[in-house]
Amino acid sequence: MRLFFLFTLLSLITTATLAFKPHIANYQLSINGLKIAEEVRTLHQLEDGYFYTANAKTSGLAAMIKDYSISASSTFKLNNKGVDSTAYQIMEQEDKKITKSYAIDINSQFGSVTSLLTKTQPKISTWKANEGNITDPLSVFLAISFDLKNNPNQSLFSYQIADGSSIETQEFKKSDKHTVNIQGKSYSATKVERINHQDSNIQAYFLSEYQYLPILIKQTKGGRKFLYEITNFKISDVKGLQVTL
């Protein structure tokens, strides 16, 4: 009985240590220096995990040229290895018409990812994964946040990322003490850069003051430079959300 009680207590302590706080973060997206969109990322806490959403929409002059939006969501759980996704979906719309829609179920226990039927995904596909946790393009940034907070001495990270069209292992490298400017203020941030990936370079900067969330994300792809910059962040008390996918 004492051993069972001790094990339960340690499990509760570990879960509390690993847990994320529900929050809302606002980002400004620029391409080649031109501000084109705003995005809101919201983390909800469920009874047995988390529900993470990202909603981006063109703004300013860009919205007058094209009405474009992207909505993505990720459902995931935490274990001693970090973030482990169970579902992911993304939908892109242009002038209110769906141009892209992917949805997948993820099961790391059986090492499988299965697509769901959507308007632009007319057949079911299955991908096999390696042993270990599986993330998605949205939750991977929280997976990095988890590792920065709970494994501060680790400098190399590897994640399996399933996006609805494939599953790929990507590697990242951490380095500290990088000066970044956010809304006129200078911060010393931790940089995490994707390595061994020639098609697209990603650099993300994290601050402990923001729960180790990315405050700045730089990406170079197809000759264009993308920049995500955090504009607002607040801890939320949204809990008990019921999710149906």
- Residue-wise pLDDT for 35-54, tens only, equals 999 999 999 999 889 999 99
Query: Which is nearest to 194 in space by CA: 231, 224, 159?
Result: 159
Contact 195, 173 (CB under 8 A): yes
Top pLDDT among 75 and 210 is at: 75
Nearest to 40 by CA among 239, 181, 230: 230
Answer yes or no: is pLDDT of 23 > 60: yes
Give the pair of three-digit tokens for residue 80.
């001693």
62: confidence class by pLDDT, cuts 50, 70, 90: confident
Asked if residue 195 lies in contact with residue 175, where contact means CB atoms within 8 angstroms, the answer is no
pLDDT at 7 over 80: no
Q: Give the three-class secondary structure for 6.
A: helix
The share of the chain scoring above pLDDT 70, in percent, equals: 89
Contact assessment for residue 232 and residue 25, using Cβ atoms and an 8 Å cutoff: yes
**What residues does each domain of the chain span?**
2-72+135-235
| Neighbouring residues of 237: CB distance < 8 A, sequence distance ≥ 6 | 22
Q: What is the pTM of this model?
A: 0.86
| DSSP element (H, E) containing 148 | helix 140-150
Least Cα distance to 203 among 188, 220, 186, 187 occurs for 220
H or E segment and range at residue 216: strand 213-221
For 2-72+135-235, CATH number out of 3.55.50, 2.50.20, 2.20.25, 3.30.1490 equals 2.50.20
Which of the 8 DSSP states describes residue 15?
H
Q: What would the mean pLDDT of 89-104 be, rounded to a whole number? A: 94
For residue 116, what are the contacts with CB-CB under 8 A and spacing of at least 6? 89, 103, 104, 105, 124
Q: Does residue 9 surpass a pLDDT of 80?
A: no
Please work out, in degrees rounded to the nearest 5, the angle formed at the alpha carbon of residue 45 by the alpha carbons of 170 and 202: 25
CA distances in angstroms from 30 to 38, 47, 48, 65, 136, listed in the order given: 9, 36, 36, 15, 23
pLDDT category at 237 given cuts 50, 70, 90 is low
- Tokens in use for 71? 């909505």
